[in-house]
A = this chain, B = another copy of it.
């Protein structure tokens, strides 16, 4: 039986592209209209693994997804980086002048807004997904409406790309994580990255003390983010990603952090997919 992979969005979306890159084409895709639904599929065992965007090199972290991983006890078992290309696509025969509205994901619209400064007649409309509009344009034969979506969406839904790569910042990389309800036990030699979450007490300098320990254990911090603790306004938790050369270094840091911080939790131990 093929592996069931839950993606946010529909076929033709960036999540679909990541599923292909990571798992190949021999999987059953479970299309989810929201990240919440994706998590539900994992918890209900109607999907084996899920793919979630977690961080964009322009806009930063997709914060609610960190909370979803943590609060639903998911495990991060891998990561993947995708270079995002935003393409403006329409029904065949339509031109830029014909477009009255462009629908896409808020993040895509944000990243392309400079392009549309020169086309004041085009209204930007937020949509849940990049590929969804492409599909709707095709199905409804919608004139005057354009989608911003990946190339694969134009292929799947028979649309024409009238402007390629319309994003302002051309080098636009998004990090996706692969999540699962059970931890996948990798051989220690294959693990060189981890995501952790902890709370520090209110004493001044307690975060610095923890970062010192990480540094002493030869961990490289690749991301840090304070996030409010729900139901405890303005008490902060920290989500931290680290890379390391030896798993033993991370093990030592784990033992120390469990003592030094509150509610220390490893969200995942996996292989760094970033080639620097």
Query: Which residues of A approach B to under 8 Å, CB–CB?
Result: 36, 55-61, 63-64, 67, 106, 110, 113, 126, 128, 169, 171, 173, 204-205, 207-208, 211-212, 214-216, 218-228, 230-231, 233-234, 236, 238, 274, 276
| Bound CA–CA A224/B63 (angstroms) | 13
Q: Judge whether B207 and A221 touch: CB under 8 Å.
A: yes
Once the chains are docked, how many angstroms separate the CA of A205 from the CA of B222?
11
Residues in B with CB closer than 8 Å to A204 are 215, 218-220
Q: Which residues of the other chain, B, contact A214 by a CB distance below 8 angstroms?
A: 208
The reply to whether A224 and B223 contact each other, CB–CB distance below 8 Å, is: no
In the complex, A263 Cα to B272 Cα: how many Å?
Answer: 28
- Bound together, the chains give a CA A60 to CA B227 distance in angstroms of 5
* Distance from A79 Cβ to chain B, minimum over Cβ atoms (Å): 12
For the complex, give the distance between the alpha carbons of A61 and B113 in Å. Answer: 22
Residues B59 and A63 in contact, CB atoms below 8 Å apart? yes
Name the residue of chain B whose CB is nearest to the CB of A168.
B230
With contacts A63-B60, A276-B234 taken as known, whether A211 is within 8 angstroms of B218 at the C-beta atoms is no
